[in-house]
Amino acid sequence: MIFHIKNPVRLAIHFSVFALLFLLHFTGAPIVSIRSASPFLLLPMLTAYSMFNDELPSCIVGAVMGACVDSVSASPGCFNTITLLLVCVGTSFISKYLFNINVRSAIVLSVLGNAFYYILKWLVCYAFSTPITDSLIYIFEYALPAVVFNAIFVVGFYFMEKRIYKNRVK
C-alpha cells in the first residue's frame, strides 16, 4: 500500500500544531501546571489525531513524534517512540471498531492512553530503581494530575480535529 498525501493543507496544519506543542513542552515555556504536574500536550493531540485517522497514519505520526521526544528527553532509549506508537495505533483501532467518534470517547481514550503511558513510564523509570516514596510521589503528584490535565485538553484538540475533518465520513 502506498501512502498518499491527500490534503497538503491538513498535513501543514498538523505539522504546525505538533511542532508548536513539542516546542512548548520542551523549551520550558509557561504552561498550565499545578505544583510539579504539567500536561504532556502531545498525548491528547495524538489521541485526537488518531481518532480521525486510520492505523497506518497514526502509527507513522506516533513513531515520528515519539522519536522527536526521545531525542530530547531523559527517558530510556526508544521508550517514547514505542509507547506513543502503541498509544496512537491503539486509539485509532479502538475508535474505529469499538467507540463512536465523539467527545466522550475522546476523553475516555485520552484517559486510557495517558494512563498506559504514565504506568509504563513508572514501570520503566521509577518502579524498581527508586525508593517507594519517590515512586509514590511520581504517581500521585505528577502522573495522576497529568492524566486529568490531558483529559481536559483533549476536548479542544478533538473539536479542532473534528473541524479539520468535517467532510470526512469514517
Span 113-167, pLDDT tens digits: 999 999 998 888 878 887 888 888 888 888 888 888 888 889 998 998 888 877 5
Report the alpha-carbon distance of residue 167 to residue 124 in Å, rounded.
41
In a domain, 130, yes or no: yes
In a 13 Å sphere around the CA of 25, the CA atoms on its Cβ side amount to: 23
For residue 96, the one-letter residue type is: K
DSSP string across 73-99:
S-SPTTHHHHHHHHHHHHHHHHHHHTS
In a domain, 103, yes or no: yes
Place of cell 497514526: 58
Report the alpha-carbon distance of residue 167 to residue 170 in Å, rounded.
10
pTM equals: 0.84
What range defines the domain where residue 147 resides? 39-164
**Buried/exposed 126-163: b ≥16 CB within 10 Å, e otherwise:** beeeeeeeebeebeeebbebbbebbbebbeebbebbbe
| Model confidence pLDDT, tens digit, residues 100-115 | 888 999 999 999 999 9
Assigned C-alpha cell, 156 = 479542544
In a domain, 22, yes or no: no
What pLDDT does 1 receive? 40
Residues 6+ apart with CB under 8 A from 135: 122, 126, 127
pLDDT confidence tier of residue 4, bands split at 50, 70 and 90 = low
In a 13 Å sphere around the CA of 153, the CA atoms on its Cβ side amount to: 21
In a domain, 9, yes or no: no
In a domain, 23, yes or no: no
pLDDT surpassing 70 at residue 48: yes
What's the domain count of the chain? 1
For residue 123, the one-letter residue type is: L
pLDDT surpassing 90 at residue 27: no
In a domain, 69, yes or no: yes
